[in-house]
Structure 1
Amino acid sequence: MSHRLARPTPRSRLLTWWATVSAVTALTLGLPGESVAADAPNPPAGTVLSAPTAFVRGTLRPDAPPAGANDWTCRPRAAHPRPVVLLHATYTNAHMNWSMLSPLLKRAGYCVFAPNYGGEPGVPFKATRHIPDSAREIARYVDRVLAATGARQVDLVGHSQGGGVLPRWYLRFEGGTNPAKPARNKVRRLIGLAPSNHGATVSGLGTLTTELGLNPTVSLVAGQAYADQMVGSRVHTTLDRGGDTQPGVAYTVIATRYDEVVTPYHNQFLTPGRGATVRNITIQEICPQDLSEHISIAYDSNAHQLVLNALDPAHAEPVHCRFSGPLIGG
């Protein structure tokens, strides 16, 4: 049964206008194009190798999947028996968020799926709706992936909202897991890049809007997902009441000390409960020169190797640390 909170006021159409202005501005300024460290492997065709490039392309084609994703004829092989479902962050879409990781996973032999959720078709900035509503979207999508591929379980990889409070809500309240019989879980692994697990303060901005009682007003423009992700929100208090994890799920958190959105960054970390495992990783403890922050961690090749290792721990490989910069990645 769904655990439903009261539905909030619908978000404003101002997001459509703002996305258009952002796209025009980005193109006018000539954001950086595709770039990658010289020693990186040759990327698959269609790969977008910088966050700004993906932002522009995803704004102009907000409903297009990233390269490598949404092949509904894909059947998992024995080496990688679980499809990977990529869940984008708030105010992005699948193309913006996953144009580097999706083709990498496809080339590694995974069936990859990347839904757009929490927003209207044609609107670039998605994942703005009430998080329990978006979780029900993801529940339907995962069921569709399982039916199409014949797989018994999926692995989830998400960024920000998509790696934190959204999939945790789905796992607990929307059928993603079966606590009484974890072998029947629909999800085996949840890997979060800068996940919003225990709320955000947005470097103090969210604390200010919360203390001033402005979150409902801000959410009229920014979407209900803004208020839902603030520290102390009703969504968080409802979700956290039952602990951080679900039995039978392996959780991996990949955080950066330079996160400016889900702050303080240790709010991203999870505590394992009964029958679950958790690995909390601060990327600078592995690659000290990594300067990725909340946005660029989705385009960070060091983080991507950690994702590959978490998906297939039996064949984990060392992280060959490369420079990854703020906003751009690497």
Structure 2
Amino acid sequence: MLIGDSDTLAFQDPEEVCAKSPFHVLVVEDDLVHFTYCQHVLHSLYGKDLELERAVDCQGAIDLLSSGRFDICLLDYMVKGGNAKDVLTRIDFGSVETPVIVISALDDRDTMLEALRYGADDYVVKGRFAESDLNRAIQYAIYRKYKEMRLRQRALYDPLTGLANRHLFFDRLDEVHRFSARHGEKYAVMVVDLDRLKHVNDTKGHEAGDRYIRAAANALVCSMRSSDTVARAGGDEFVAILKNIRDKQSLMRLCAVVKDNIAAKAAAEEDLPGPLTCSIGIAVNPDDTETPAEMLRLADAAMYQVKRLGGNGFRFA
């Protein structure tokens, strides 16, 4: 989906995070003495801006961290029910942006590297960090998480539209295929190609073409469910994975919505020439084929049949 939607990265600038009020902190610590120490240091740093929550065991830490409500997490290395590795390996850091600082009584290189390897953003030694040490660690962790998310965005998302790129699309396609086969569900692949965009690029320039592409991307996201994946395949072509398909009638309605939304979003752009139409091809698994690669090929072929007939329509494989 587009940046800002539930399926993508919507991370904040680190300076905004560091200056937030209230500043939400999760402390995972089952020892009251050490928790009180952390609480004291955090209150010294943030005063009335601090909003603090505590977890005392692995499951509590996982549940709270997975909520994504916190600006930073201080995670005790040894916690009731397991350790930091048990917590970190069960968090989906692809969707959870909270930086994690591991706090441990163990001051050794191997323990520190293990924590970092499993997803921690920094490491401090229990009972031996001053206010300035913790402040530095928090700011470092927030900046490190921001850079990590930026790198992930560049690797997996299209820079023009914010949609998933081809690499992420094929990863999601494989994931949906396995899930659907396991649960006996149908899914569909939709290929959407914008009509006559080359003429816009040639006559009005690529800036106008890019605005049409962004408008179409926005329209596709608005047309889909949050559980679906929309990607830019390249140029003026988009692909979508539609989960848990009931019948072709619902897909036909969706195609009409996609066409209308693309036309409306493009029409809302100022100083762009004429309406924007699209050609759509759809393949359904397992009705049309049982392999993801063949699904994409069939949907693409259906789209080109629409294109050859003048565009502005849809066709099933």
The alignment's TM-score, normalised by the length of structure 1, stands at 0.24
Structure index of larger Rg: 2
Using CA pairs below 8 Å that are at least 6 residues apart, which structure has the higher relative contact order?
1
The alignment's TM-score, normalised by the length of structure 2, stands at 0.25
